Structure 1
Amino acid sequence: MQAYEFINNLIPPLKPKDKAKMALTWMEEIRTNMLPVVENNRFIGFVTEELIYTLNNPELQISKIALKFISCIVYQDKHIYDVIKVASENQTNMVAVIDRENNYLGVVTMEDAIGAFAGSLSIQSQGAVLILSMFMTDYSLFEISRIVESENAKILSSFISNDPLDDSKIKVTLKLDKSEVRHIKATLERFGYRIIDHYQEEESGNGEQERIDNLLRFLQI
């Protein structure tokens, strides 16, 4: 799941000599609010719809606009996790992808990144999500897995983030292969783990939307 695999080839790069009105036309056609700008095959930033409307000059060349998100880039061989991390840090929905010689390759959108996870086995599979809070020094995926497996369950994937309820702790989000987690929760709590939230999947006719909702909760986006 490397970044280059999810490049969206429908999003064209602008050149510095292009005009603002062209950028707006392309944004409207592909239904986005920003586009990458490339000069001599080098990514130099994003131009946004907001920037163009603020300047209110459709004939203005892109080179005359102060571009945004200049550092919103990842190397082509980085994991899709890194794409989401960079997008989150820059609070944007698009990340430029470059090779190790800094040549521009394309962009990955957050929709594409989320789609990558939504198509993975850990998201498609039925199962519950558990969220634990702990100190980083207490974190051991091996130990947590051992406890979970003692209840005849497996961890399909895991995710670590800051605990918003306590800055000194982390949140460990686990996707399990079981939908019923009462015994798993009880066993984890018996070993001193604090469970701050959980989500249990149920069968319904709207499974695709449930998988997307579950993914967003899992990634805490």
Structure 2
Amino acid sequence: MQAYEFINNLIPPLKMTDNAQKALAWMEEIRQDVLPVVDEGIFKGLVTDDLIYTLNNPELKIADISPESVTCFVYQDKHIYDVLRVAAEHQSNMVAVLDREQHYQGVITMEDAISAFAESLSIQSQGAVVVLSMFMTDYSMYEIARVIESENAKILSSFISVDPLDDSKIKVTLKLDKTELRHIKATLERFGYRILDHYQEEQEQSNEQDRIGNLLRFLDL
């Protein structure tokens, strides 16, 4: 799942000779509020509609506008996780993709990145989600998997994040291949695991919007 696989070829880069009015027209046409700026194949940063409206000059050339987020890019061989990380760092809905020679290859939107992330976490598969809280020193995926598998269930994917209420602990989010959690929860608790939260899907809940909604909910995005 490398970044170059998710480049959105429908989003055009702005040239230095383009003006602010053209940028806004393109943004409206493709329903985006930001566009990349490229000069002779080199990524120069991002221009947002807020920046253009602030300058309030439709004839202003892009060359006369100072682009933002000049480091909002990833290399084309980076994983989709890096795209999400860079987007979060820059609070941007778009991340540029460069090759190792710094040449611009395109951009990835957060809509595309989240869809790819959802796919990597097996969101499209039926199953429930369990969130465990523990100290990092107690974390062992082997032991967790052994307990889960004792209930004839499998871990489809996992995600680890720092517990926002206690930075000495982590949250371990598990996507399972079972929709019924009662016995699994009881077994986890019997082995001393603290269940922070859980999300139990209904069998018929299979459309894309529901899957993405579940992803955002259990990642607290």
Which residue matches 2:41?
A: 41
What amino acid is the match of 2:162?
Answer: N
2:179 aligned residue: 179
Matches of 2:175 and 2:31, distance apart in 1 = 33
TM-superposed CA distance for 1:121, in Å, is 7.5
1:67-95 deviation line (CA, Å, top 9, x unaligned): 11111111111111111111112111111
1:203 deviates by: 2.8
- Residue 165 of structure 2 is matched in structure 1 by 165
Query: What do residues 184-203 of structure 1 show as CA deviations (whole Å, max 9, x unaligned)?
Result: 11222222221111100003
Q: Which runs of 5+ in 2 are unaligned?
A: none
Amino acid at match of 1:133: S
Query: d(CA) in 2 for partners of 1:116 and 1:206?
Result: 17
**What displacement does 1:17 show?**
2.3
Equivalent in the alignment of 1:22: 22
Aligned residues with identical type, % of pairs: 73
State whether residues 121 and 158 of structure 2, in contact with CA within 8 Å, keep that contact through their aligned partners in structure 1. no
Measure the CA separation in 1 of the matches of 2:83 and 2:121.
Answer: 20
TM-score, normalised to structure 2, is 0.94
Checking the alignment, whether the CA contact within 8 Å between 2:2 and 2:78 is kept in structure 1 is yes
Partner of 1:62: 62
> 5 Å matches for 1:71-220?
71-119=71-119, 122-204=122-204, 207-220=207-220
Q: State whether residues 121 and 157 of structure 2, in contact with CA within 8 Å, keep that contact through their aligned partners in structure 1.
A: no
Task: Please say which of residues 115-124 and 30-39 is displaced more in the overlay.
Answer: 115-124
Shift of 1:44: 1.2
- What is the Cα deviation at residue 11 of structure 1? 0.3
* Counterpart code for 2:53: Y
- The whole-number CA distance in structure 1 between the counterparts of 2:67 and 2:166 is 36
Matched to 1:174, the amino acid is L
Larger mean Cα displacement after TM superposition, 99-108 or 161-170: 161-170
Count of matched residue pairs: 221
Looking at structure 1, the residues matched to 199 and 76 of structure 2 have their Cα atoms a distance apart, in angstroms, of 34
Q: Residue by residue, what CA displacement relative to the aligned partner does 1:30-49 show, whole Å, maximum 9, x if unpaired? A: 00000000112111100000
- Aligned amino acid, residue 176 of structure 2: L
- Secondary structure of 1:156's counterpart equals strand
Q: TM-score, normalised by structure 1?
A: 0.94
Aligned mates of 2:120, 2:170 — CA distance in 1:
25
Aligned mates of 2:95, 2:201 — CA distance in 1: 31
SS at 1:124 equivalent: coil
For 1:98 and 1:124, locate their aligned partners in 2 and report how far apart those are by CA, in whole Å: 30
Q: Over residues 92-148 of structure 1, what are the superposed CA-to-partner deviations in whole Å (9 max), with x where a residue is unaligned?
A: 111111111111100001111122234457111110001111222221111111111
Q: Is the 8 A contact 2:179 2:203 kept in 1?
A: no
The answer for unaligned runs of 5 or more in structure 1 is: none
